[in-house]
Amino acid sequence: MGPNLGHNPETMKKKKNHYHHGNLAESLLTAVDEIASQFGLEAVSLRACAKLVGVSPSSAFRHYVDKRALFTAFATRALQQLCNDMLAAKNNAEKNNQVTFKAVAMAYITFAIDKPAFFRAMWREESIYSNDESYQQAASKLSNYLTSGFANTIDDKDPENFSPTELLAWSAIHGLANLLVDGPVGNDDSRKQQLEKASEMIDALTPSLR
Does residue 128 sit in the same domain as residue 184?
Answer: yes
In a domain, 66, yes or no: no
DSSP track, 56-117: -HHHHHTT-SSHHHHHHHHHHHHHHHHHHHHHHHHHHHHHTT--HHHHHHHHHHHHHHH-HH
Choice among 13-22, 67-76, 144-153 with the minimum mean pLDDT: 13-22
Are 109 and 173 contacting, i.e. CB atoms less than 8 angstroms apart? yes
User: Is the pLDDT confidence value at 10 over 80?
Assistant: no
Residue 93 lies in domain: 74-209
Query: What confidence category does residue 22 fall into, taking pLDDT thresholds of 50, 70 and 90?
Result: low
The answer to whether residue 49 is domain-embedded is yes
Same domain, 57 and 150: no
Between CA 3 and CA 170 the distance in angstroms is 35
Nearest Cα to 139, choosing from 195, 80, 87, 81? 80
CB 101 within 8 A of CB 162: no
**Whether residue 203 is found in the same domain as residue 147:** yes
Reported confidence tier of residue 16, pLDDT bands at 50, 70, 90: very low
Of the pLDDT bands very low, low, confident and very high (cuts 50, 70, 90), residue 4 is very low
Claim to verify: residue 34 and residue 135 sit in the same structural domain:
no
What is the rounded CA–CA span in Å between residue 192 and residue 164?
A: 31
Percent residues over pLDDT 70 in the chain: 90
Query: Is the model's pLDDT at 9 over the cut of 60?
Result: no
Q: Are residues 121 and 30 in the same domain?
A: no
pLDDT tier at 21, thresholds 50, 70, 90: low
Q: 3-state DSSP call for residue 70?
A: helix
Asked if 126 and 203 sit in the same domain, the reply is: yes
Q: Of the residues 38, 61, 84, which one is the last residue of a structural domain?
A: 61
Taking alpha carbons only, the member of 112, 115, 108, 129 closest to residue 34 is 115
- Looking at the fold, whether 151 and 177 belong to one and the same domain comes out as yes
User: Does pLDDT of 25 surpass 50?
Assistant: yes
- State the pLDDT confidence band at 17, using cuts at 50, 70 and 90: very low
Kindly state the average pLDDT of the residues 64-72.
94
The answer as to whether 169 is a domain residue is yes
Q: Tens digits of per-residue pLDDT, 75-100?
A: 999 999 999 999 999 999 999 999 99
Indicate whether 136 belongs to any domain.
Answer: yes
Residues 89 and 57 in one domain: no
Q: Are 202 and 105 in contact (CB under 8 A)?
A: yes
Report how far residue 107's alpha carbon sits from residue 101's, in angstroms, rounded to the nearest whole number. Answer: 10
Going by pLDDT thresholds of 50, 70 and 90, the confidence category of residue 7 is very low
The stretch 157-171 carries a mean pLDDT of 88
Whether omega before 116 lies within 30 degrees of 0, making that bond cis, reads no
For residue 132, the domain's CATH number is 1.10.357.10
**Residue 128 Rama label (left phi>0; alpha psi -120 to 50; beta):** beta
As for how many domains the chain has, the answer is 2
Average pLDDT of the chain, as a whole number: 88
Chain segment 181-201, per-residue pLDDT in tens: 988 887 889 999 999 999 999
Does residue 190 belong to any structural domain of this protein?
yes
Question: Is there a domain that residue 2 lies in?
Answer: no
- For residue range 98-147, list pLDDT tens digits in order: 999 999 999 999 999 999 999 999 888 888 998 999 999 999 999 999 99
What's the confidence (pLDDT) of residue 141? Answer: 94
